[in-house]
């Protein structure tokens, strides 16, 4: 659905996106995660032809992103936390305004979404709360059965109740829509995403199906019957190595399976127990971000 | 989808649009209220206020509708909607036409009709005015608004632009030896740089609209905009020769000035009449001149002009004078330019050997005069002249007259407040005559008071003029018949005014020419003002 190859975007001397290559498969829910300023929003704006790239190519639904026309926008839904909407229109007027632009607009779906999301028809957009605006934007983005839905930080600044409503609205209609979502709200993303890409300082660190990622990362905890070894000849795949008393902990970034336990027992003497727990997306993200920070502080450069 | 977007914009701006339309009709109403003799200060002030409000309001309205779907920025909702750029541009353009241009057209049309002008004339003038407003105001404002995201940004840019233009004006002034504006300002050929400015603004506006709506190339658009502003400023300093050369090339009769000769005629003697309205006529020709006030020393050079076509008048548009010692050409040259705005020379109709005389005033710096006055000097006078031919003659009663006069418009006469002059006020529509002469005449014996000439500073060949928001041309003459100081006595005085008529002649441009008069070896002291 989306293919990005060797994408670069420079703003003067600042490089926002560097050599980014990724593929969003059709039907997937692709999560672009990364810290603030990682280049997620810039990438999305290039995908939507709002910004022009410095180098590289982006194909959206088989079309060069620079050539995206109103015909392609008939199939692309977009919502963003900082989208500038026509403030002086009422909710009703906004829907009335958008409807004729989309040949596949579904009035029944629109009505059910507006009902489900409890949108106030007569209220002006400028008088809507942030959460209400996001819900309205979601209803607008789904009412024409888009093939591709792009969401840029949709959960920012929303209270848990609104997040749930938004998620319900989204999941209820997602169907076979391809979703590209950028967010820090990893708990929400975990419920939707089928693929995860981690972007840091404009560079892609990894891009893989969420299930592969979940099986690859493990929080490993080894309990010794004596003080844990203070110096460990650790693999590069182990990050956040930490010893405390009889406990050695680390995150395994490429967990090989049950055989790993045997190799650990061969490597260390006096192991009492080994636990290798699957990690939630938030913990994986935090671990990777912390590792990156530690490397920068240590002058180790980029991983 | 143009209509769909337009409906949304009209709905959002309905109150503002209505206010601008009301303002445009109010402008016409105040013009009507002022009548032909526009001397009511309260109404004149209201008119000025309304004009400022109308311009500012119309600009704000256009900017607001462009900002509704702003081109600058990356967060606008329309960017991710299936909206064709052409539809968006079409909708914004249509909004400007419907909300600003159309009310103006209707108001101007109504103003023309209510003033008693024919529908075809009123509509023609309203359309012409509308066209100039479109290319000189609406399109540039649309383009300028497309370079900003919000009204705050637009206002900030306007202020910055104002400061830049002010700075450039100062530079132009320094370059132009202290004169604030260029050599064509307030002359008949001012329309040339003005037309260039309109053309530059319209082309730059269209280029910016194209760049912004189809490419969203804000940086390139801003460069185009800055370039257009600099070019517009440059048109103000277009050299006189260049502009007048264009005017000559465009004139209907390019050889019209071939027979006309301008010569130095020392036989006319020295100019000695600072009080009299004008020097005595010579050989049946009439001469009119308004001398300039000011410091320094003035020379008055006697000049004879021959070969003036019968019934025509000459208008001296510009004189470039150079003075240098006769025995050492090139040293100590003094250059100066005169723009004698009200200097006309007329021959008497029917006189084949028509010639006219006049005294050419040359202003000189006192120190230069003192340096050169004792020795012979050569003076070169480079004239730029316009020939105007008589197109109509008409008359109207001097008091309480009301008549439609061809080439001028609808005129009324009455006494001025001081009861010293006949006040003639006319309102015309369409392409007015470039010069008009008016004279008070007693029909019983054809006695006449001195003729008064009035010329528009506009030789433009185009239909209509760019003078919004008033489409009506106002002409005003005060024909004196009494001098309260008693110094001047008029052939027609207060006792005869009641039975007199005002004879009006209108003139149109026939052609232009330049000629060089070289006066060798004269003493400046012989011709200085006495």
pLDDT digits (tens, 9 = 90+) for B134-171: 999 999 999 999 999 999 999 999 999 899 888 877 88
State pTM to two decimals: 0.82
Q: Where are the alpha helices (DSSP H) in B275-408?
A: 366-372
Structure tokens that stand for A263 in this block: 């190799």
Span B260-282, average pLDDT? 66
Task: Flag whether residue A11 sits within 8 Å of chain B, measured between CB atoms.
Answer: no
Is residue B377 within 8 Å of B522, Cβ to Cβ? yes
Return the structure tokens found at A262.
């045997």
Q: Give A 224-283 residues with CB within 8 A of chain B.
A: none
The number of angstroms, rounded, from the C-alpha of B229 to the middle of its chain's C-alpha atoms is: 22
pLDDT (mean) for B311-316: 83
Q: What's the average model confidence in pLDDT over B103-109?
A: 93
pLDDT tens for A82-108 read: 889 999 999 999 999 999 999 999 999
Nearest Cβ partner of A85 from B1, B77, B83? B77
| DSSP character at residue A123 | S
Q: What is the mean pLDDT of chain B?
A: 83
The stretch B196-204 carries a mean pLDDT of 93
The residue count of chain B comes to 530
Instruction: Sketch the domain layout of chain A as residue ranges.
Output: 2-211, 218-278
Nearest CA to CA, how far is B214 from chain A (Å)? Answer: 11
Q: Mind telling me how many Å the CA of A112 is from chain B's nearest CA? A: 22
Least confident of A44-48, A141-145, A290-294, B246-250: A290-294
Choose from A70, A99, A138 for mutation: most chain B CBs within 10 A: A70
- Measure in Å the smallest separation between the Cα of A101 and chain B Cα atoms: 6
Dump pLDDT digits (tens) for B378-407. Answer: 888 888 988 888 888 999 999 999 988 877
CB contact under 8 Å between B79 and A98, yes or no, is: no
Cβ within 8 Å, pair B82-A89: no
Residue contact A73–B80, C-beta within 8 A: yes
Closest CA of chain B from A74, distance in Å: 6
Q: How is domain A2-211 classified at the CATH fold level?
A: Rossmann fold (3.40.50)
Asked whether the beta carbons of residue B1 and residue A100 sit closer than 8 angstroms, the reply is: yes
Question: How would you classify residue A268: left for phi > 0, otherwise alpha for psi between -120 and 50, otherwise beta?
Answer: beta
Among residues B290, B284, B340, the alpha carbon closest in space to that of B308 is found at B284
Q: Is the pLDDT of residue B453 over 90?
A: no
Do the chains contact at A101 and B1, CB–CB below 8 Å?
yes
Q: Which residue would you say has higher pLDDT here, A234 or B21?
A: B21
Of B160, B152, B158, B146, the residue nearest B67 (C-alpha): B146
Question: Could B77 and A97 be called an inter-chain contact, meaning their C-beta atoms sit closer than 8 Å?
Answer: no
The pLDDT value recorded for residue B273 is 55
CB contacts, 8 Å: A73 with chain B: 80-83
Which pLDDT does position B256 carry in this prediction? 77
pLDDT tens for each residue of B214-229 = 999 999 999 999 999 9
Per-residue confidence band for B21, with pLDDT thresholds at 50, 70 and 90: very high
Annotated domain spans of chain B: 2-238, 261-388+512-526, 391-509
Contact yes or no for A48 and B79 at CB 8 A? yes
Gap from B75 CA to chain A (nearest CA, Å)? 5
pLDDT at residue B44, as a whole number:
80
Closest Cβ–Cβ partner in B1, B74, B82 for A73: B82
How many beta-carbon pairs below 8 A join chains A and B? 49
Residues in B touching A78 (Cβ below 8 Å): 80
Chain A residue with minimum CA distance to B6: A97
Best of A72, A86, A125 to substitute, by most chain B Cβ atoms within 10 angstroms, is A86
B82/A97 touch (CB, cutoff 8 Å), yes or no: no
pLDDT over 50 at B340, yes or no: no
Q: Over the stretch A7-50, which tens digit does the pLDDT of each residue have?
A: 999 998 899 999 999 999 998 999 998 888 888 999 999 999 99
Write out pLDDT tens, residues B314-339: 888 888 888 888 765 443 444 444 44
**Alpha-helical runs (H) found in chain A:** 40-47, 70-73, 91-98, 107-116, 130-142, 160-173, 186-192, 210-216, 259-267, 281-297
Contact criterion met (CB < 8 Å) for A71 and B82: yes
Paired with B424 in beta bridges are: B413, B477
ipTM here: 0.83
Across the interface, whether the CB atoms of B12 and A100 are under 8 A apart is answered no
pLDDT at A295: 73
pLDDT of residue A78: 94
When pLDDT is cut at 50, 70 and 90, the band that residue B39 belongs to is low
**By the CB < 8 Å criterion, does B8 face chain A?**
yes
- Lowest model confidence (mean pLDDT) among B75-84, B105-114, B424-433, B514-523: B424-433
| Res. B69 pLDDT band, cuts 50 70 90 | very high
User: With a CB-CB cutoff of 8 Å, which residues 50-89 of chain B face chain A?
Assistant: 68, 70, 73-77, 79-84
Does the beta carbon of A16 lie under 8 angstroms from any beta carbon of chain B?
A: no
pLDDT (tens digit, 9 = 90+) per residue, A42-57? 999 999 999 999 999 9
A61 inside 8 A of chain B by CB: no
> Is pLDDT above 80 for B175?
no
Give the pLDDT of residue B211. 96
Partner B, chain A 75-114, Cβ-Cβ below 8 Å: 76, 78, 80, 82-86, 88-89, 93, 97-98, 100-102
Q: Which of A221, A171, A196, A202 is nearest to A282 (CA)?
A: A196
* % of chain A residues with pLDDT over 90: 42
In this structure, are residues A247 and A224 in contact, taking their beta carbons and an 8 Å threshold?
yes
Instruction: Match 């110096």 to its residue by tokens.
Output: A231
Closest by Cβ to B80, choosing from A51, A78, A100: A78
Chain B interface mutation, best of A45, A53, A101, A137, highest count of B Cβ atoms under 10 Å? A101
Contact: A102, B82; criterion CB under 8 Å: yes
Contacts of B362 (CB under 8 A, 6+ apart): B298, B299, B300, B301, B321, B323, B336, B338, B379
Q: Test B12 with A89 for CB contact under 8 angstroms.
A: yes
Is the CB of B219 inside 8 Å of chain A's CB atoms?
no
Q: If you average pLDDT over residues B507-523, what whole number do you get?
A: 89
For the segment B265-291, the average pLDDT, to the nearest whole number, is 50
User: CB neighbours (10 Å) of residue B265?
Assistant: 17
Mean pLDDT (whole number) for A246-267: 85
- DSSP β-ladder status, B447-448 and B435-442: antiparallel
How near does any CA of chain A get to the CA of B209, in Å? 18
Judged by CB atoms closer than 8 Å, whether chains meet at A70 and B74 is answered as no
How far apart (Å, rounded) are the C-alpha atoms in residues A77 and A91?
Answer: 18
Asked whether residue B349 carries a pLDDT value surpassing 50, the answer given is no
A110 touches A95 (CB < 8 A): yes
Average pLDDT over residues A254-281: 85
Query: What integer pLDDT is reported at residue B72 of this predicted model?
Result: 93
Q: Check whether B275 has a pLDDT greater than 50.
A: no
Mean predicted confidence (pLDDT) in A165-191: 80
Lowest mean pLDDT among B95-109, B189-203, B463-477: B463-477
CATH of region B261-388+512-526, choose from 2.40.240, 2.60.120, 2.60.40, 3.10.50:
2.60.40
Smallest CA–CA distance, residue B158 to chain A, in Å, is 24
Closest chain A residue to the Cα of B214, Cα to Cα: A69
Average pLDDT rounded to a whole number, residues A166-191? 80
- Chain B residues inside the 8 Å CB shell of A48: 79-80
Chain A residues near residue B6 by CB distance under 8 angstroms: none
* Cβ separation B83–A70 shorter than 8 A: yes
Check residue B518 and give left, alpha or beta (phi > 0: left; psi -120 to 50: alpha). Answer: beta
Bridge-based pairing state of the strands B377-397 and B435-442:
unpaired
> Are the beta carbons of B82 and A93 separated by less than 8 Å?
no
> Residue B497 and residue B421: Cα distance in Å, rounded?
9
What is residue A98's predicted lDDT score, i.e. its pLDDT?
A: 95
CB neighbourhood size of B68 (10 A): 21
CB–CB of A101 and B76 under 8 A? no
Integer-rounded Cα radius of gyration of chain A: 23
Whole-number Å distance between alpha carbons of A243 and A230: 7
Mean pLDDT of the region B428-438: 82
Distance CA B258, CA B239 (A): 24
CA angle B388, B390, B393 (to 5 degrees): 145
Chosen from A45, A48, A84 to mutate, greatest number of chain B CBs within 10 A: A84
pLDDT of res. A166: 76
Across the interface, whether the CB atoms of A70 and B84 are under 8 A apart is answered yes
pLDDT at B351 over 70: no
Chain A residue numbers touching B82 (CB-CB < 8 A): 70-71, 73-74, 101-102
Pick the closest to residue B111 from B223, B209, B33 (CA basis): B33
């Amino acid at each position: 659905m989306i293919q990005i190859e060797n994408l670069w975007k420079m703003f003067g001397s600042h490089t926002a996106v560097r050599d980014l290559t990724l593929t969003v498969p059709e039907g997937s829910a692709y999560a672009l995660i990364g810290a603030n300023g990682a280049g997620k929003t810039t990438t999305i704006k290039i995908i939507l032809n709002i910004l022009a790239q410095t180098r590289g190519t982006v194909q959206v639904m088989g079309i060069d992103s620079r050539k995206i026309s109103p015909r392609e926008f008939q199939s692309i839904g977009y919502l963003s936390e900082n989208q500038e909407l026509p403030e002086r229109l009422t909710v009703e007027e906004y829907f009335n305004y958008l409807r004729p632009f989309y040949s596949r607009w579904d009035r029944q779906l629109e009505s059910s979404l507006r009902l489900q999301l409890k949108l106030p028809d007569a209220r002006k957009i400028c008088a809507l709360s942030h959460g209400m605006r996001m819900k309205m934007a979601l209803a607008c983005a789904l009412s024409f059965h888009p093939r591709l839905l792009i969401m840029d930080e949709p959960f920012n600044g929303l209270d848990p109740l609104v997040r749930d409503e938004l998620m319900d609205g989204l999941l209820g209609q997602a169907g076979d829509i391809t979703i590209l979502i950028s967010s820090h709200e990893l708990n929400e993303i975990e419920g939707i995403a089928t693929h995860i890409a981690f972007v840091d300082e404009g560079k892609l660190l990894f891009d893989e199906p969420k299930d592969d990622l979940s099986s690859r990362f493990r929080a490993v905890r080894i309990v010794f019957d004596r003080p844990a070894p203070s110096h460990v000849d650790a693999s590069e795949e182990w990050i956040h190595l930490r010893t405390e008393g009889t406990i050695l902990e680390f995150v395994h970034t490429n967990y090989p399976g049950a055989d790993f336990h045997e190799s650990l027992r061969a490597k260390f003497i006096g192991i009492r127990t080994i636990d290798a727990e699957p990690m939630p997306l938030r913990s994986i993200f935090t671990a990777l971000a912390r590792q990156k920070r530690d490397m920068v502080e240590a002058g180790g450069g980029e991983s | 989808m143009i209509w769909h977007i337009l409906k949304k914009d009209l709905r959002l701006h309905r109150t503002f649009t209505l206010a601008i339309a009301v303002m445009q009709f109010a402008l016409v109403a105040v013009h009507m209220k002022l009548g032909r003799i526009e001397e009511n200060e309260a109404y004149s002030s209201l008119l000025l206020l309304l004009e400022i409000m109308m311009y500012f309001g119309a600009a704000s309205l256009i900017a607001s509708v462009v900002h509704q779907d702003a081109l600058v920025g990356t967060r606008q909702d329309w960017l991710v909607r299936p909206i064709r750029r052409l539809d968006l541009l079409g909708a914004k353009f249509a909004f400007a036409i419907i909300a600003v241009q159309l009310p103006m057209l209707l108001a101007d049309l109504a103003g023309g009709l209510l003033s008693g002008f024919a529908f075809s004339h009123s509509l023609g003038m309203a359309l012409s005015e509308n066209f100039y407003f479109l290319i000189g105001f609406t399109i540039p404002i649309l383009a300028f608004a497309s370079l900003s995201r919000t009204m705050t940004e637009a206002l900030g840019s306007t202020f910055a632009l104002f400061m830049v233009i002010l700075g450039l004006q100062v530079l132009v002034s320094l370059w132009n030896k202290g004169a604030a504006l260029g050599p064509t300002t307030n002359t008949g050929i001012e329309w040339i740089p003005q037309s260039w400015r309109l053309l530059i603004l319209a082309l730059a506006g269209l280029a910016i609209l194209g760049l912004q709506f189809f490419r969203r190339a804000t940086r390139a658009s801003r460069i185009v905009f800055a370039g257009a502003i600099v070019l517009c400023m440059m048109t103000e300093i277009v050299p006189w020769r260049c502009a007048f050369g264009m005017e000559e090339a465009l004139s209907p009769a390019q050889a019209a000035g071939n027979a006309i000769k301008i010569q130095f005629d020392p036989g006319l003697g020295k100019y000695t009449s600072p009080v009299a309205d004008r020097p005595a006529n010579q050989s049946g020709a009439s001469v009119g001149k308004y001398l300039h006030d000011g410091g320094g020393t003035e020379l008055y050079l006697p000049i004879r002009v021959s070969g003036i076509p019968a019934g025509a008048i000459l208008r001296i548009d510009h004189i470039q004078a150079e003075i240098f010692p006769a025995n050492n050409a090139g040293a100590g040259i003094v250059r100066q330019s005169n723009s004698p705005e009200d200097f006309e020379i007329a021959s008497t109709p029917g006189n084949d050997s028509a010639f006219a005389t006049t005294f050419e005033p040359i202003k000189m710096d006192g120190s230069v005069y003192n340096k050169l006055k004792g020795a012979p000097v050569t003076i070169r006078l480079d004239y730029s002249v316009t020939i105007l031919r008589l197109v109509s003659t008409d008359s109207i009663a001097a008091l309480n007259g009301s008549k439609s006069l061809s080439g001028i418009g609808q005129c009324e006469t009455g006494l001025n407040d001081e009861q010293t002059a006949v006040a003639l006020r006319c309102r015309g529509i369409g392409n007015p005559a470039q010069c008009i002469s008016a004279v008070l005449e007693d029909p019983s014996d054809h006695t006449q008071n001195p003729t008064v000439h009035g010329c528009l500073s506009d030789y433009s060949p185009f239909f209509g003029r760019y003078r919004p928001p008033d489409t009506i041309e106002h002409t005003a003459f005060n024909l004196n018949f009494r001098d309260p100081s008693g110094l001047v006595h008029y052939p027609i005085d207060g006792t005869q005014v009641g039975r007199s008529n005002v004879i009006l002649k209108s003139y149109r441009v026939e052609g232009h020419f330049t000629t060089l008069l070289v006066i060798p070896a004269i003493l400046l002291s012989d011709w200085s003002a006495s």
